[in-house]
């Protein structure tokens, strides 16, 4: 998070209004939050002020006690990020969100945890919409990825105090929310832009390669990589496998795999499924080869790579069209 030499004097009072026991006061504070954060002097507030602001938002959400109210407030809080300009300021606010979730997570009781899972889902969805609004800019995606893997981030591979359930939840919802964002755009008769899927997977691949937690590696493979690879296979080949992997997690990622590239939308356009499949499998191998990868993690990723590299050879041997799809723009 960008530090400021001067502290924003308005941040602490706003945080208190957000955490007020009076619902009308909280609602009023939420309404003014986007405008407040778009003011130039608040665009990159000091880290301690952002922490105070998010503590107020956290307890504002804590006090929402009815399902419909919780859902509406979660959506409203996520939309706040999309109303912040410029994008760098929106990312600053997002970093405050993730720092707050990591910091406060272990204090959430079991009766409230589901609504915070919902809030995280809304922020993941809004994050993808923010990145899409920025044209999937490589610099913006890199900044977003840094927020996830930085020290204390939800996908940080070296910070042992990050609750593993946060990484697990991100594994469960990440591709699903990306698919939703692209499908919503498609349903509006707009053509989804080419999504740099390999770059968006980087935080999960880095975590899989470097974490000391074996269950985390297994979770990434089973609910992120397996469903994605299966979605990239041609239907004829997937049927020949008997849909065994669908028993792990059934996700429809058809819009995503039809509108994706590996790393750079401008130079790659959209890639056909075989090219994307080949590129993702190779990217997994390359990440495992990195000198920072743990030996045991590397072996698991090599095993996954080998299995799917062989399947890819079988798939490519079939008489299937592999014509590259050009971006219509």
7-59 pLDDT, tens digit each = 444 454 777 888 777 888 888 888 888 778 878 777 678 888 899 999 999 99
- In the structure, what pLDDT confidence band is assigned to residue 327 with cuts at 50, 70 and 90? very low
CA distance 223 to 182: 20
Instruction: Say what the pTM is.
Output: 0.88
Is 70 exceeded by the pLDDT of residue 324?
Answer: no
DSSP per residue, 10-60: THHHHHHHHT-S-HHHHHHHHHHHHHHHHSGGGTT--HHHHHHHHHHHHHH
- In the structure, what pLDDT confidence band is assigned to residue 172 with cuts at 50, 70 and 90? very high
The closest alpha carbon to 133, from 179, 184, 82, 80, belongs to 82
Q: pLDDT tens for residues 191-242? A: 888 999 999 999 999 999 999 999 999 999 999 999 999 898 765 555 555 5
Q: pLDDT tens for residues 243-297? A: 544 444 457 899 999 999 999 999 999 999 889 999 999 999 999 999 999 999 9
CA distance 225 to 202: 12
């Amino acid at each position: 998070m960008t530090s400021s030499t001067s502290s924003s004097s308005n941040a602490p009072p706003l945080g208190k209004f957000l955490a007020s026991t009076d619902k009308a006061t909280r609602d009023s504070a939420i309404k003014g939050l986007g405008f407040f954060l778009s003011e130039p002097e608040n665009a990159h507030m000091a880290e301690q002020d952002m922490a105070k602001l998010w503590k107020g938002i956290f307890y504002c959400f804590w006090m929402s006690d009815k399902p419909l109210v919780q859902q509406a407030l979660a959506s409203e809080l996520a939309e706040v990020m999309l109303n912040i300009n410029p994008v760098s300021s929106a990312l600053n606010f997002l970093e405050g969100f993730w720092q707050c979730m990591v910091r406060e997570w272990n204090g959430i009781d079991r009766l409230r945890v589901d609504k915070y899972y919902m809030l995280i889902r809304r922020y993941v969805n809004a994050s993808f919409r923010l990145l899409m609004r920025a044209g999937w800019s490589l610099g913006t995606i890199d900044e977003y990825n840094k927020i996830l893997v930085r020290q204390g981030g939800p996908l940080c591979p070296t910070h042992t105090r990050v609750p593993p359930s946060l990484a697990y939840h991100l594994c469960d919802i990440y591709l699903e929310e990306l698919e939703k964002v692209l499908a919503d755009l498609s349903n509006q008769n707009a053509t989804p832009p080419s999504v740099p899927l390999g770059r968006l997977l980087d935080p999960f691949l880095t975590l899989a390669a470097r974490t000391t937690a074996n269950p985390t590696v297994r979770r990434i493979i089973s609910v992120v990589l397996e469903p994605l690879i299966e979605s990239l296979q041609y239907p004829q080949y997937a049927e020949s496998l008997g849909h065994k992997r669908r028993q792990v997690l059934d996700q429809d990622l058809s819009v995503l795999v039809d509108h994706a590239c590996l790393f750079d939308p401008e130079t790659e356009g959209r890639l056909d499924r075989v090219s994307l499949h080949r590129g993702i499998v190779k990217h997994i191998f390359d990440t495992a080869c990195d000198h920072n990868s743990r030996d045991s993690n590397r072996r698991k990723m090599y095993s996954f790579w080998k299995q799917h590299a062989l399947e890819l050879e079988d798939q490519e041997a079939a008489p299937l069209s592999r014509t590259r799809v050009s971006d219509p723009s």
